[in-house]
Amino acid sequence: MIFDAHHYWIRNAHVPASLVVNGNKWATRKPPTDHLLHVDLEIVEGVISAILAAGTYQNYVYPSIDLQGGMIWACFADLHTHLDKGHIWNRAPNPDGTFESALNTVRVDAQKNWNPDDIYRRMEFGLKCSYAHGTKAIRTHLDSAGKLGEMSFEIFRALRDQWADRIILQAVCLVSLDYFLTPEGEKLADLVAESDGILGGVSFINPDIDQQIDRIFSMAKDRKLNLDFHVDENNDPDSNTLRRIAEAAIRHRYRNKTVCGHCCSLAVQDAAEAETTIALVKKAGIGVVSLPMCNLYLQDRTPNRTPRWRGVTLLHELKQAKVPVAIASDNCRDPFHAYGDHDALEVFSQSVKIAQLDRPFGDWANAITSTPADLMGLPNVGRIGVGLPADLVLFKARNYGELLSRSQHDRIVLRNGKAIDTTLPSYAELDDLAKP
């Protein structure tokens, strides 16, 4: 196979222009329709060595493959996942699909079934799916209250080491913010620091919310940790913890990276309130990650009633304000989201339709590639450039219309220029885990 060669070309390909960095200048001129560049790529020893306008050479000295106009993307970065919860739906289904039931169902399942073998195997199953689909970097939130934190972070560290040559894995602790006002919260922050993790939690409106936010910022500064919050995952216009977090970041002069996920209530707030919050988020240097598939599933769900809104945050307005905006998988096959397969392309495809990220597509491809990679502190992930590893996803689809109309199950994933096995793990691998 050509992808086993040490030196080869991929010819006649379309690449999202916004993903190209360090390319030959004349190959990245103003792109045609849908901001796609028509290029030839040279791969030498697993590294991209040239990006040229398609057809620059009539004959190639080294082996080449004609992609016939197919698209090439950089490997994905999945900024917000819950690998520790994944794939428990068969034994712990959500009885009515609501957020409150999801919380309760997971809590009961964790008490009954979560042990090192159970968590390890489900997390690794998620990694196998992600890798096969073309993801290079993943950040997972880990439920961390009490002894569960120690167990989950130990499993995370083991998987991070075992998968280091395939996936860059990051972890965020997940507790409600009041936890950090307790001695157990101090211990958790130390555990996160010892694990090279990210400090995080769920922000709920309550009388002590500002004290809780100030506390976690102080802990993060003391330990030089990045922050990652679950924020305003509801349709209550009075839920404004995103604004409070932005104000705290400014107040604390916090300079490390901060990510806020969900931010759903921003979309149902008064326009002036939303604009004020977005301006503060921009000033604070906060990145926002939206989870369109999960929020579409959960938000505004009432039995026997059609949902009135889509659950997503103000993606377009945030992006127009130059706030870094990403999209991600969130939950897969658990009480918070019954479906999903850790496929970042599916996330992009569904997000385009849910949040209308087309007409034009512009640089929205970055929302699942380079933007989350930047928020994860990974400058060489999620982009295509001379001198970068040939970590690429090749599709037969020649444009966005074709890309988003089929599953692209026949994609080719290259890591360091070599094609990997994209066979997905069988669900049967988890059959022997605890049943209902």
Flag whether pLDDT at 323 surpasses 70: yes
Flag whether pLDDT at 372 surpasses 70: yes
28 φ, ψ to 5°? -120, 30
DSSP bridge pairs for 410: none
pLDDT for 59 equals 82
pLDDT digits (tens, 9 = 90+) for 337-370: 999 999 999 999 999 999 999 999 999 999 999 9
pLDDT, averaged across the chain: 96
Out of 29-33, 107-111, 113-117, 404-408, least confident range: 29-33
Task: Quote the percentage of the chain above a pLDDT of 90.
Answer: 94
Measure the N-to-C terminal CA separation of the chain; round to a whole number of Å: 46
| Alpha-carbon radius of gyration of the chain | 22
pLDDT for 436 equals 62
For residues 18-28, give the mean pLDDT: 72
Flag whether pLDDT at 172 surpasses 80: yes
pLDDT digits (tens, 9 = 90+) for 52-88: 999 998 888 889 999 999 999 999 999 999 999 999 9
What pairing do the DSSP bridges indicate for beta strands 392-394 and 412-415?
Answer: antiparallel
Question: In one letter, which amino acid is 337?
Answer: H
DSSP bridge pairs for 325: 288
Domains (range + CATH), the chain: 2-74+382-419 (2.30.40.10), 76-375 (3.20.20.140)
Closest CA to 411 of 68, 72, 52, 25: 72
* pLDDT band at residue 31 using 50, 70 and 90 as cut-offs: low
**Mean pLDDT comparison of 33-37, 53-57, 114-118, highest-scoring range:** 114-118
pLDDT for 206 equals 97
Flag whether pLDDT at 33 surpasses 80: no
pLDDT digits (tens, 9 = 90+) for 414-433: 999 999 999 999 999 999 99
pLDDT for 434 equals 73
Flag whether pLDDT at 371 surpasses 60: yes
For residues 234-242, give the mean pLDDT: 97
Residues in the chain: 436
Flag whether pLDDT at 134 surpasses 80: yes
pLDDT for 396 equals 98
pLDDT for 179 equals 98
pLDDT digits (tens, 9 = 90+) for 180-196: 999 999 999 999 999 99
pLDDT for 435 equals 72
Q: Which residues form the catalytic set?
A: 233
What pairing do the DSSP bridges indicate for beta strands 227-231 and 258-262?
Answer: parallel
Flag whether pLDDT at 24 surpasses 70: no
HEC sequence for 367-381: HHCHHHHHHCCCCCC
pLDDT digits (tens, 9 = 90+) for 286-307: 999 999 999 999 999 998 999 9
pLDDT for 346 equals 98
* pLDDT band at residue 23 using 50, 70 and 90 as cut-offs: low
pTM for the structure as a whole: 0.96
